[in-house]
Amino acid sequence: MRAFEKKSFFFLAVIFAVSCQLEVPIKEMARAKKTITRAYEVKADRYDPENLKKAEAKLFESHDNLKEDKADPAKTSANEAYMAASEAVKKSLPLLARDTLEQARTIHVRAVNFNAEKYAPAELAAGGALIQEADSLNTEKKYWDSYLKSIAAIDTLNTAISAAEEAASALEVTIGKLKAERDDLERQDARQSAAKELTSAGTALIAAEEALKNDMIKDSEQNVDIAVQYLKAAKIKIAVLGAREKIALLRGSIEKLKNERGSDFAPEEINSALGSLNEAESLLDQEKNEDALVKITDAENHYLAALLKTEKGMAEDRIKNAEALLQKVLTADTKMLYRQETDNSAALIQEAKDQFAAQAYRESSAKAGEAEKILNSLNFSVGREYGAQPVQPDQAVQQEDNVTYYVVRLNVKDRDCLWKIAQRLYNNARMWPVIYVANKDQIKDPDLIFPGQRFRIPPLPESKPAGAPDGEKKEEPAPEPAATKPDDTQTAPAQEADQGAGTE
pLDDT per residue rounded down to tens, the chain (504 residues): 445 554 554 455 444 444 444 577 899 999 999 999 999 999 999 999 999 999 999 999 999 998 888 899 999 999 999 999 999 999 999 999 999 999 999 999 989 988 888 889 999 999 999 999 999 999 999 999 999 999 999 999 999 988 888 778 888 899 999 999 999 999 988 778 889 999 999 999 999 999 988 888 888 989 999 999 999 989 888 877 778 888 999 999 999 998 888 888 999 999 999 999 999 999 988 878 889 989 999 999 999 999 999 999 999 999 999 998 888 888 887 778 778 888 988 999 999 999 999 999 999 999 998 888 888 767 655 655 555 444 343 456 777 777 888 888 776 566 788 988 888 888 888 788 889 888 988 888 888 888 888 898 988 765 444 344 444 444 444 333 333 333 333 333 333 333 333 333
Q: Residue 171: how many CB atoms within 10 A of its CB? A: 19
Helices 121-139 and 71-113: crossing angle in degrees, nearest 10, is 140
Q: What is the pLDDT of residue 451?
A: 81
Q: What is the dihedral of CA 449, 450, 452, 456, to 10 degrees?
A: -10
Domain ranges across the chain: 2-96, 313-385, 397-460+476-499
Q: What is the pLDDT of residue 279?
A: 94
Query: Which pTM does this prediction carry?
Result: 0.43
Strand pairing category for 454-457 and 403-407: antiparallel
| Interatomic CA distance for residues 355 and 348, integer angstroms | 10
CA distances from 324 to 320, 331, 335, 391, 392 (A): 6, 11, 19, 11, 11
Helices 243-257 and 289-332: crossing angle in degrees, nearest 10, is 20
Q: What is the pLDDT of residue 414?
A: 67
Helix (H) or strand (E) holding 365: helix 361-385
CA distances from 185 to 178, 181, 205, 294, 331 (A): 10, 6, 15, 19, 64
